[in-house]
């Protein structure tokens, strides 16, 4: 609500959140991140595009509670979800990030993702236009 980490404009209801994190099919996965029996965020692989030819590419998303950033939780979650993606036979993972989200850009870059796109002014929040950058990692290279 108060950041550009998400382009949501209002808090999601439980049902809306379920629609975000529940996998569309067995091919995809979502996981709650818990540390010391406390909810810290979630990580998931979702469908990148609906056409069958995109079936070996997944969209990876990590959301952490703001107080969890900078503690290594995101690094662990990204390594974990990449391992799951490899087990499921994914070839490529894509991450779409608000261009000003330096923490996310940094973590994906540090894990070998490369910026492959920059979309200018595709979101509007807090009275200003926001860019999206897309990062990609080939898993079996």
Q: Which domains does the chain have, with CATH numbers?
A: 14-138 (3.40.630.30)
Distance of CA 102 to the CA centre of its chain: 14
Residue range 52-57: mean pLDDT, rounded: 91
CB 138, CB 56: distance < 8 Å: no
Tell me 128's DSSP state. Answer: E
pLDDT over 80 (residue 57) = yes
Distance between first and last Cα of the chain: 38
Spatial neighbors of 16 by CB under 8 A, at least 6 apart, are none
* pTM of structure: 0.85
pLDDT for 74-86, tens place per residue?
Answer: 999 999 999 999 9
């Amino acid at each position: 609500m108060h950041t550009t980490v998400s382009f949501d404009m209002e808090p999601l209801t439980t049902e809306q959140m379920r629609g975000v994190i529940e996998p569309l099919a067995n091919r995809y996965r979502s996981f709650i991140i818990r540390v010391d029996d406390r909810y810290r965020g979630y990580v998931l692989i979702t469908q990148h595009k609906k056409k069958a030819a995109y079936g070996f590419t997944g969209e990876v998303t990590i959301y952490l509670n703001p107080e969890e950033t900078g503690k290594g939780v995101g690094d662990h979650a990204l390594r974990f979800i990449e391992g799951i993606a490899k087990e499921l036979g994914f070839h490529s993972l894509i991450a779409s990030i608000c261009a000003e989200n330096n923490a996310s850009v940094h973590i994906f870059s540090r894990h070998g993702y490369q910026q492959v796109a920059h979309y200018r002014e595709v979101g509007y929040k807090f009275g200003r236009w926001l860019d999206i950058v897309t990062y990609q990692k080939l898993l079996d290279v």
